[in-house]
Amino acid sequence: MAQQVQGVIAPGKNEPVRVETIVIPDPGPGEAVVKIQACGVCHTDLHYKQGGINDDFPFLLGHEAAGIVESVGEGVTDVEPGDFVVLNWRAVCGQCRACLRGRPWYCFNTHNARQRMTLLDGTELSPALGIGAFAEKTLVAAGQCTKVDPEVSPAVAGLLGCGVMAGIGAAINTGEVGRGDSVAVIGCGGVGDAAVVGARLAGAAKIIAVDIDDRKLDMAKKMGATHTVNSRATDPVEAIRSLTGGNGADVVIEAVGRPETYKQAFYARDLAGTVVLVGVPTPELQIELPMIDVFGRGGSLKSSWYGDCLPSRDFPMLIDLHQQGRIDLGAFVTETIGLGDIEQAFTRMHGGDVLRSVVVF
């Protein structure tokens, strides 16, 4: 039987979000209904509301979530009702060329639930990143559910579904930060701070945090940065070079998505170093670089998609490390809020006041 729950939708471009009654169908083959316990507020939710992703309004927002599987459809064997799970954006196919080569984060046959959730009048909703978890319950593909230790706080677990995984994964998966490496992180919001945590976890000797906001640099220090650079006051490329014996960092992680910071990342790496781009640019942005620099600098230039994560491997591992006290994912939760507070949470996020507001149910 289809059921009705409360959820937060973005009705149209730049219109305020609002709480509505959502109709959730029973899970079909390969699908699951998940009772949401916590869901973080991410920039991408704001981008949906602003029409920056696509025009498929109305959106059911929310995508950094953890909860309990309530029911599963035909053929679902990996999760069962009662399992505590973290949701990921897309279920990978396991069969395409990328999956078979062991790089499922590049899977080009990913899928979400096939059925649609709707409003009471039948209007179909577009769930943010195929999740839609600013709702008491949501419908997803079963492969979007990763079982994790149920002892962890849902507010912490949910964060792994997006920004925190993107940042930690940029350091440990894409950047392959090694013991003793020097790492620079440009842009220390939630994603950059998570990259700092990842670099520390990987045993980096130096972690240089760069931002234009001193409040962000203070936070990065709490997360494990060993040095901070305010790039409004100091040229970050020079600062990173001088902190690394004139060489540049072994790994530079860019977590802003602007032309100037892409360039800084490019020039702040050691000749044999790695640049990891996590910051997502808007489509119109361009950078220009002298070809001689592109050729003449060795190392590698990589972009990191969702931290190149494998949810089944990385979510439980990071939760274990958190439970052991070896990383503190709780530090990313600035505040917990209710479903009715999301519009204000966007305002605070925009002002740089919070790392993450997390809706708890």
When CB distances are held under 5 to 8 angstroms depending on the partner's kind, the choice from Zn ion, ligand APR, none that residue 66 binds is none
CA pair distance 197, 224, nearest whole angstrom:
6
- Contact between 99 and Zn ion by CB under 5 A: the answer reads yes
CA pair distance 116, 126, nearest whole angstrom:
8
- Contact between 109 and Zn ion by CB under 5 A: the answer reads yes
Q: 125: Cβ–Cβ under 8 A, 6 or more apart, which residues?
A: 9, 22, 58, 59, 60, 116, 117, 118, 119, 132
Q: Is the dihedral of CA 27, 32, 37, 42 positive or negative?
A: negative
- Contact between 312 and Zn ion by CB under 5 A: the answer reads no
Q: What mask, x for binding Zn ion by CB under 5 A, covers residues 75 to 94?
A: -----------------xx-
Q: Which two tokens stand for residue 140?
A: 């997803």
When CB distances are held under 5 to 8 angstroms depending on the partner's kind, the choice from ligand APR, Zn ion, none that residue 107 binds is Zn ion
The binder of Zn ion chosen from 41, 60, 66, 107 (CB under 5 A): 107
DSSP code per residue over 287-300: ----HHHHHH--SE
Q: How many CB atoms lie within 10 A of CB 178?
A: 14
Q: Least distance from C-beta 214 to ligand APR, angstroms?
A: 10
Least Cα distance to 257 among 163, 162, 186, 155 occurs for 186
Question: Which of 92, 229 has the CB closer to Zn ion?
Answer: 92
Q: How many CB atoms lie within 10 A of CB 260?
A: 12
The binder of Zn ion chosen from 34, 142, 162, 253 (CB under 5 A): 162
List interacting residues with ligand APR (CB under 6 A). Answer: 43, 163, 166, 186-192, 210-213, 216, 231, 255-258, 260-261, 278-280, 352
* Contact predicate 226/207, CB 8 Å: yes
Q: Least distance from C-beta 216 to ligand APR, angstroms?
A: 4
Question: Which of 22, 131 has the CB closer to ligand APR?
Answer: 131
Q: Least distance from C-beta 83 to ligand APR, angstroms?
A: 28
Instruction: Calculate the CA dihedral of residues 222, 167, 144, 34 and round it to 10 degrees.
Output: 30
Q: Least distance from C-beta 22 to ligand APR, angstroms?
A: 26
Residue numbers 30-69 binding Zn ion by CB under 5 A: 42, 44
Question: Which of 120, 287 has the CB closer to ligand APR?
Answer: 287
When CB distances are held under 5 to 8 angstroms depending on the partner's kind, the choice from ligand APR, Zn ion, none that residue 99 binds is Zn ion
Question: Which of 186, 276 has the CB closer to ligand APR?
Answer: 186
When CB distances are held under 5 to 8 angstroms depending on the partner's kind, the choice from ligand APR, Zn ion, none that residue 255 binds is ligand APR
CA pair distance 352, 50, nearest whole angstrom:
18
Q: Least distance from C-beta 244 to Zn ion, angstroms?
A: 31
CA pair distance 51, 305, nearest whole angstrom:
22
Residue nearest to ligand APR (CB): 189
Say which amino acid occupies 207.
I
Strands 118-119 and 31-40: unpaired
Q: Which residues bind Zn ion (CB under 5 A)?
A: 42, 44, 92-93, 96, 99, 107, 109, 162
